[in-house]
A and B are shown apart, each in its own frame.
Chain A
Amino acid sequence: MLDQSDGYVTEDGRKIGSVVMEMKNITLRFGGVEAIKNISFDIREGEIRAIIGPNGAGKSSMLNVISGFYVPQDGEVWYRGERRAPMRPYEVARQGIARTFQNIALFEGMSVLDNVMTGRLTKMKSGLFGQAIWKGKAEAEEVANREVAEKIIDFLEIQSIRKTPVARLPYGLKKRVELARALASQPKILLLDEPMAGMNVEEKEDMSRFILDVNDEFGTTIALIEHDMGVVMDLSDRVVVMDYGKKIGDGTPDEVRANQDVIDAYLGVSHD
């Protein structure tokens, strides 16, 4: 069963709690291709957990399994002490799991604020009719949701583009808006698919700071996929390394760095 130990304390004094999500012997196949081969690992409450690996290692597939988008052929996903049945992505969202995408998936024609507000969808209870006449409960609900959205806009320092259509924004800012939308649902677990891809050094620094601040401020558990090794090693508490669908390493950044299999996978020794 689940490991119920009380977690650990990181070097910089953050308390990491017990396991909230556990992947047990996950195998995912697309026809004859095995994208994920019998992988197990866990995510603890409040930690920043990275999944890294070379191109095509199965990282995004893994994230899609966590987010419920893919249902693995074998293996179990345990969430908060319960085995998770196959479910639709919106049901996963209701459980408090939010994500961003590798290729930005925002509503381009809508303003930043409206995009962030869509992240509140799972929290809205008033019906279509109530929202249409916008009286009483629906109005109060929107005001409350707007407040949450504004706090996130403030947090991510995107006030100046609040009313700007997303299509007009540069790439780095779009990424930040996507993070804002994911945060708007006030998730317990936040999944980030290559949050720094395509960014310059300065944008990466900003994004790293935001990820750390989100984790610190809201206590959000974060699982992220990232290519930039430097960023991963600085940000994460623990790292899972994948290669060709297999797990080849799991541990703290230092442990992973010292792992020969990982070095080989990254330097390409075994494949040349």
Chain B
Amino acid sequence: MGTPTSGAEGLRSIPALLHRNAKTLADKPAYREKEFGIWQSWTWSEAETEIENLALGLLNLGVAEGDFIAIIGRNRPYMYWGMVAAQMVGAIPVPLYNDAVAEEMAYVLDHCGARFVIVSDQEQVDKVIEVQENLHQFEHLIYLDPRGLRKYDHTRLHQYSHIQEQGHAARDELTPELRRREAKLDYDSTCVMLYTSGTTGKPKGVVLSNRNVIESAKSSSEFDDLRQTDDILAYLPMAWVGDFIFSVGQSYWTGFCTNCPESGETMQTDLREIGPTYFFAPPRVFETQLTQVMIRMEDAGNFKRRMFHYFMDHAKRVGPALLDGKSVGLWDRLKYNLGEVLVYGPLKNTLGFSRVRVGYTAGEAIGPEIFEFYRSLGINLKQLYGQTEATVFITAQPDGQVRSDTVGVPSPGVEIRIAENGEVFYRSPGVFVEYYKNAESTADTKDAEGWVATGDAGFIEPDTGHLRIIDRAKDVGKMADGSMFAPKYVENKLKFYPNILEAVVFGNGRDECTAFINIDLSAVGNWAERNNIAYASYQELAGHPQVLATIQAHVEEVNRSVAQDEMLSGCQVHRFVVLHKELDADDGELTRTRKVRRRIIEEKYDDIIAALYDGSDKVSTVTEVTYEDGRKGSISATLEVRSAETRVAAQKMAAE
């Protein structure tokens, strides 16, 4: 079965693609989910039946065209069906982050005016009920898992399977209406609305049309030669644009199977069992996995450990070249093959990457060593650059041109322009329609000719045509002496050390740069264990003199590397503190996609920042923390402020 080559007439909505797949791929798997210890699967034609029954049930419940239906839950086939069923009846699905606290949900539910909400379980039902008084448009709640919900008042609460049953029972009467509504869907109708996590201010609802989604899915599928036989693991938040494009857009376009893990905690086991051929993960996931591998190898026997390091050294030398199809000597080739049998193969199998044909990472810069590690194993890991407003794809790395410091060449159909201040602009068929109920922001972001500001500063490498991103454009500032300040550039260098989980660099408008650093508990904790260093809490470990000394060494190494760069040598970190708590999305310090919210951190820890600049060597502070269930508490600590050695910039040295 080949892949259709164009968005032919009649294939201009996700439901239309569903019907096509149900016809041409009837008995091929569309969805799998592990439940009760077994992978359950649904073929495309079974998925069509399930989705139609749900759509009929939604009609039966009174869903009108143009209504918003919020979807809240972890990745499960039923949740994806909810989105497609909503599209079928002419409604607009709005997936939400299922780990959001009730108030965050309230804002989004109120902003889109969702009349219907489909949720996974009691936890989500409770959150919606908690805020429903303030949602005047909210009418009905549909839940999947009935557990614990028997005693709830069911006047506005419905079980998912009952909705499907009722829809099925009324099919004769309602099918004509369903077909009428489906027929009205075209390239301009809204496919989905996704709320951006928002590093600043309230989240914005990004409206994506069928054109955006299907065109992006089509050209990206062709770019990476995605096939019907591919498998992906759907484990990233459903509210994130990437998951929607991979698990719905590309899956429906090429007809490959979407696999859902059994639960959040079993992801690693499920990954190994499924062995996806197409895999996406943010750098953090790869980082954590590598840390785990290294920790386990430290604990392994002497022989195994030496074999591992011997063959990994070899892989680092020739693996990437082999992957790029460059010529490699016969002896090296043979040795690599031996390594494949003894080390790389078993390791890839353990990690669940045995079958990966196309792997992507994006969202943050990935450490060069981490990137090289996976590529040297023969895993085709690449980088892409994208955003919700572009329906993901702006640039991506073609096979054979993969490097850790670029984000690739413009994706098919995408035009790129760099503004004078360095900001990256793009124009493509994937460019979003608008921000919902926010014409002002829409106009700020997208101009009349369709160019969209990414908010990122970067440049295109003249000889390769690859795009390189430096930092968020609004975060790029000036130091007091007028030199360029790009915090992310330095933070990324710091975060490449396994001991450092998060770093926040300050210095805009100041004489020198300073930094907050979060240690990585698993890496530092393991180090402490191996060196017989006792600690009772995160806070104690973070303040341990030996830990501080290690971090200081990392900071100084980064300073040396930053000093090499003419433009950014002013960004060396002069003073830093290791924070007593992990920066957390529940405290509003990170976004749900774990990006640092600079302004909020600056305000919240202004006392520590003051200490970083006034020369004091200690600072006492009290920090408010929010627990997962929304309760608040506080922790107090005395932090040591450390000074790090800095270098004179490269060109200045030459002048002296």
- Asked if A and B are interacting partners, one says yes
Among residues of B, the one whose C-beta sits closest to the C-beta of A146 is B37
Answer yes or no: B303 CB below 8 A from chain A CBs. no
Chain B residue numbers with a CB within 8 Å of A216 are 148, 150-151
User: Are B269 and A160 in contact (CB-based, < 8 A)?
Assistant: yes
Answer yes or no: B147 CB below 8 A from chain A CBs. yes
Mark interface residues in A7-23 (1 if CB within 8 Å of B CB, else 0).
Answer: 00000111000000000
Mark interface residues in B238-274 (1 if CB within 8 Å of A CB, else 0).
Answer: 0000000000000000000000001101100100000
In the bound complex, CA of A33 to CA of B481 (Å): 87
In the bound complex, CA of A151 to CA of B147 (Å): 12
Answer yes or no: B36 CB below 8 A from chain A CBs. yes
Mark interface residues in B509-546 (1 if CB within 8 Å of A CB, else 0).
Answer: 00000000000000000000000000000000000000
Chain A interface: which size bin? 20 to 34
Among residues of B, the one whose C-beta sits closest to the C-beta of A113 is B37
User: Are A150 and B147 in contact (CB-based, < 8 A)?
Assistant: no
Among residues of B, the one whose C-beta sits closest to the C-beta of A151 is B36
Answer yes or no: A64 CB below 8 A from chain B CBs. no
User: Are A162 and B147 in contact (CB-based, < 8 A)?
Assistant: no
Given A159-B262, A160-B266, CB of A150 within 8 Å of CB of B36: yes
Answer yes or no: B606 CB below 8 A from chain A CBs. no
B122 to chain A, nearest CB (A): 9
Instruction: Identify which of residues 146-167 in chain A touch chain B, using a CB-to-CB cut-off of 8 Å.
Output: 146-147, 150-151, 153-155, 157, 159-160, 162
Q: Count of B residues near A, CB < 8 Å?
A: 13
Answer yes or no: A213 CB below 8 A from chain B CBs. yes
In the bound complex, CA of A150 to CA of B262 (Å): 12
User: Are B266 and A159 in contact (CB-based, < 8 A)?
Assistant: yes
User: Are B151 and A154 in contact (CB-based, < 8 A)?
Assistant: no
Answer yes or no: A234 CB below 8 A from chain B CBs. no
Among residues of B, the one whose C-beta sits closest to the C-beta of A205 is B629
Answer yes or no: B35 CB below 8 A from chain A CBs. yes
User: Are A154 and B36 in contact (CB-based, < 8 A)?
Assistant: yes
Instruction: Identify which of residues 210-229 in chain A touch chain B, using a CB-to-CB cut-off of 8 Å.
Output: 212-213, 216-217
In the bound complex, CA of A146 to CA of B36 (Å): 9
Chain A residue numbers with a CB within 8 Å of B262 are 159-160
User: Are A159 and B263 in contact (CB-based, < 8 A)?
Assistant: yes
In the bound complex, CA of A162 to CA of B262 (Å): 12
Among residues of B, the one whose C-beta sits closest to the C-beta of A150 is B36
Chain A residue numbers with a CB within 8 Å of B35 are 154
Chain B residue numbers with a CB within 8 Å of A153 are 36-37
In the bound complex, CA of A147 to CA of B38 (Å): 10
Among residues of A, the one whose C-beta sits closest to the C-beta of B34 is A159
In the bound complex, CA of A217 to CA of B262 (Å): 21
Instruction: Identify which of residues 141-166 in chain B touch chain A, using a CB-to-CB cut-off of 8 Å.
Output: 147-148, 150-151
The 7 closest A-B pairs by CB, nearest first: A160-B265, A150-B36, A150-B37, A160-B266, A159-B262, A159-B263, A159-B266
Give chain B's interface residues, CB within 8 Å of chain A.
35-38, 147-148, 150-151, 262-263, 265-266, 269
Between A and B, 27 residue pairs with Cβ closer than 8 Å are: A12-B151, A13-B151, A14-B151, A113-B37, A146-B37, A150-B36, A150-B37, A151-B36, A153-B36, A154-B35, A155-B147, A157-B263, A159-B37, A159-B262, A159-B265, A159-B266, A160-B262, A160-B269, A162-B37, A212-B148, A213-B147, A213-B148, A216-B150, A216-B151, A217-B147, A217-B148, A217-B150
